[in-house]
């Protein structure tokens, strides 16, 4: 019998399949379709210190082999998540979850992460550094090694649980940023976030998204994500959660060979709400076909 389990910073997962933040909410809707306890874990909706309504509509646009989103981090705020979403979650998910955190200043990151770190259900904190730094001219925290390291160091100072920094692909050199996060104390890395893109309506001759640009996700970004996971894996010694266009059991295995310990599935959940369940069910068959006895043993196998 094949072994699907992996160890992520001391957290043993039954399998490496994790729905990505923003594409699975708090799991409640998906729990109506299937028992989501089959998942390794899931990363819940990106959470900020204060509630956010998000960007104006339209904020979703389809593309070939993917989609664009400019949702704008709509969420009810960390206090609502702690008092309502996490208690409700206990009824339908019985494993540690991943808390995805966003912020617009280092102080916001610190406060939100400290609050979520204290929650029993939270096993890992995932810090999204693709947000614009309101005190630094609006540039995303994740575009320079210095600002990425500053967020990492600040969050690690107020937390005890493993911290994974979620990296943006919209940079010249993702490796230097990954190294800076590791040096600043990150326990792991998540990559990649969405690629910046846009669409234009030929009738109106205006951008389709009200925000003009949005994040590209879906199968179109998989080769880029795979390349970045491979590059970062060669440069750091901390675990990686790989994501970006993953939509099959074979994609999961490929991402793990590139260096991922766990694999997040995002946009595919919006196309097929059963996709994570199906991938978990198909993994043993794919492993047997490929002569893989244990997923833990293939992590970074493409580097050998």
Query: What pLDDT does residue 233 have?
Result: 98
Q: How confident is the model at residue 138 (pLDDT cuts 50, 70, 90)?
A: low
Task: Work out the number of other CB atoms within 10 angstroms of the CB of residue 210.
Answer: 14
Q: In degrees rounded to 5, what are phi and psi of residue 186?
A: -60, 140
Interval 173-214: pLDDT, tens:
999 999 999 999 999 999 999 999 999 999 999 999 999 999
- Sorted by where each starts, the structural domains of the chain and their CATH numbers stand as 6-303 (3.20.20.70)
Q: Is 152 left (phi over 0), alpha (psi -120 to 50) or beta?
A: alpha
In the 8-state DSSP scheme, what is residue 219? G
* pLDDT band, residue 137 (cuts 50/70/90): low
Segment 265-278, tens digit of pLDDT: 999 999 999 999 99
Q: Characterize the bridge pairing of strands 122-128 and 97-101.
A: parallel
Which residues are known catalytic residues?
A: 131
User: In the chain, what percentage of residues exceed pLDDT 70?
Assistant: 98
Average pLDDT value over all residues in the chain: 96
CB-based contacts of 226, cutoff 8 Å, min separation 6: 242, 244, 254, 255, 258
Place 139 in a pLDDT band, splitting at 50, 70 and 90.
Answer: confident
Interval 76-102: pLDDT, tens: 999 999 999 999 999 999 999 999 999
- Is the separation of the CB atoms in 162 and 187 below 8 Å? yes
């Amino acid at each position: 019998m094949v072994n699907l389990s992996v160890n992520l910073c001391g957290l043993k997962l039954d399998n490496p399949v994790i729905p990505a933040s923003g594409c699975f909410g708090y799991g409640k809707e998906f729990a109506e379709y299937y028992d989501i306890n089959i998942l390794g874990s899931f990363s819940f909706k990106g959470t900020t210190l204060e509630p956010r309504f998000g960007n104006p509509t339209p904020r979703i646009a389809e593309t070939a082999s993917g989609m664009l989103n400019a949702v704008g981090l709509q969420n009810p705020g960390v206090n609502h998540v702690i008092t309502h979403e996490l208690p409700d979650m206990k009824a339908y998910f019985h494993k540690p979850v991943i808390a995805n955190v966003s912020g617009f200043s280092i102080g916001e990151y610190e406060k939100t992460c400290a609050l979520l770190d204290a929650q029993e259900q939270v096993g890992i904190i995932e810090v999204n550094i693709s947000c614009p730094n309101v005190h630094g001219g609006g540039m995303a925290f994740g575009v320079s090694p210095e600002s990425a390291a500053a967020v990492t160091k600040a969050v690690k100072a107020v937390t005890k649980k493993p911290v994974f920094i979620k990296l943006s692909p919209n940079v010249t050199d993702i490796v230097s940023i990954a190294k800076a996060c590791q040096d600043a104390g990150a326990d792991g890395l998540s990559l990649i976030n969405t690629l910046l893109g846009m669409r234009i309506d030929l009738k109106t001759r205006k951008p389709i998204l009200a925000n003009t640009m949005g994040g590209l996700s879906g199968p179109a970004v998989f080769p880029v994500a795979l390349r970045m996971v491979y590059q970062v894996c060669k440069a750091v010694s901390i675990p990686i959660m790989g994501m970006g266009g993953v939509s099959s059991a074979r994609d999961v295995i490929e991402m793990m060979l590139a260096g991922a310990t766990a694999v997040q599935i995002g946009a595919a959940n919006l196309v097929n709400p059963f996709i994570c369940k199906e991938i978990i069910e198909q993994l043993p068959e794919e492993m047997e076909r490929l002569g893989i006895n244990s997923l833990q043993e293939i992590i970074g196998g493409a580097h050998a």
